[in-house]
Each structure stands twice: as structure tokens, then as C-alpha cells.
Chain A
Amino acid sequence: GAVVSQHPSWVICKSGTSVKIECRSLDFQATTMFWYRQFPKQSLMLMATSNEGSKATYEQGVEKDKFLINHASLTLSTLTVTSAHPEDSSFYICSANPRQGSTDTQYFGPGTRLTVL
């Protein structure tokens, strides 16, 4: 089956630093990838939709200058948390849609746990 990987699986950083999280579709091309954030014991909240070769679309309330998304190729999207603060500590999950126009299948990565000290 289709596999989506994330790297790193966990990261600890100091307040004020920037952290980059990678999301890769390993055996398929993804024109669209999605980034979610999940706080402890809460649900996944969609942050942004990443489209290959174009600007990401951010959900209301998500700061685009703080959460930089780059979808440079059909298999890679990156999320950079800039000037991270403790309140950015969360579980970040990406997903990839293998075929444009299909809502049936979206493959989720294993998540990245970010802890900001």
C-alpha cells in the first residue's frame, strides 16, 4: 500500500529556533498534501493544504508566516515552524492525496512530535 513518511519522528528545540518537518510520499506522486496539528487528547486540525508548484492554502487562524510550507516536488512537502515557542509544541501530521480529484484515499504519515523548550 501507499506509504507516507515523516522526518523527524520527534524533535526537541529551544524557543526561538526554527524547525523543518518533511513529509514524503514514498511510492506515489502527490499533487496535494495536507498538514494537521494535534494537541494532546484532541483531534486533528487542518492547518494548510500544500499544492505542488504553488502557494499553500492556509486555514483560518493559521499564521502563514509562522508555518512555512513548501511543496517543491510531487513527493515532498515541508513544514517549517519559524521562531518556535512552547505553545507550538504539538503533534504534526501530514497526509498525501495520490490522485487529483479523488477524495477516497488520503494517506497519513506517522506524525512528528515537536517539543519546544
Chain B
Amino acid sequence: SQQGEEDPQALSIQEGENATMNCSYKTSINNLQWYRQNSGRGLVHLILIRSNEREKHSGRLRVTLDTSKKSSSLLITASRAADTASYFCAAVSGTYKYIFGTGTRLKVLA
């Protein structure tokens, strides 16, 4: 299977703490994207990082990419209860196939 892996599978933190989730992928990529999914809902695009970038910031989000290790991480700083959701990385190849990771279920406790 080409599916990427994420860890941890589940993460529970207190409001205000930082949350870090990691993604490993198997294919060569053009870019890697992170998405959020609330229970039973569609995907919300969070951030995109290109294969020639190493780090990117957007608000409380920080993404890193290490193409030599085929891995990426998503850091959410100062988490809020509203950040409770599942987070997926998607490795995007030149054929615009999106290969999603297994996901991390984040629970932020108020």
C-alpha cells in the first residue's frame, strides 16, 4: 500500500498546550498538504508545503518537511477546544494523486 502513516494515532492534550503530529509517506512528491476533518464531515485544507520548502507557518500552524526522510510534521500551538478533530497529511505526486496518511485524532480538553 502507498498509504502514508501518521503518529500518534490519537492525542489528547489540555487547552493551551501544543500539539505535534507526524506524517511519513512513501512516494516522491510535488507537495504535501495537511487537512482537518471534524467527525463525519468533509475535509478542510490547512496548509501546503512544497517539496523544495523545509518549513512553513500559517497562524498557529507550523509545518516542516524533510524529503530525505519522507516525513512531515504539523505543530498546532496554543491549542483550543475547537481544534478537536482528525488531521490528515496528503502526499501529492506529479500525477496529482493525493495519498492520505492514516490520520491523527486530536482531542483538546477545555
Contacts and interface: CB of A to CB of B under 8 A. Distances in A.
Nearest to B98: A106
Contact of B98 (A34, A91, A102): A34
A110 B101 CA distance: 19
A97 B101 CA distance: 20
Given A43-B100, A46-B98, A103-B92, A113 B3 contact: no
Interface string B5-37: 000000000000000000000000011000100
B28 to A, nearest CB: 12
B93 A103 contact: yes
B41 interface: yes
A43 B48 contact: no
Interface residues of A, number: 23
Interface of B: 3, 30-31, 35, 40-43, 45, 48, 88, 92-94, 96-103, 105
Nearest to B103: A43
The 7 residue pairs across chains A and B that have the minimum distance between CB atoms = A110-B42, A103-B96, A108-B43, A44-B100, A103-B30, A43-B100, A103-B92
Contact of A111 (B41, B96, B101): B41
Given A103-B31, A104-B48, A111-B42, A32 B101 contact: no
B88 A43 contact: yes
Given A43-B101, A93-B43, A32 B3 contact: no
Contacts of A91: 40
Contacts of B3: 43, 45
A43 B45 CA distance: 15
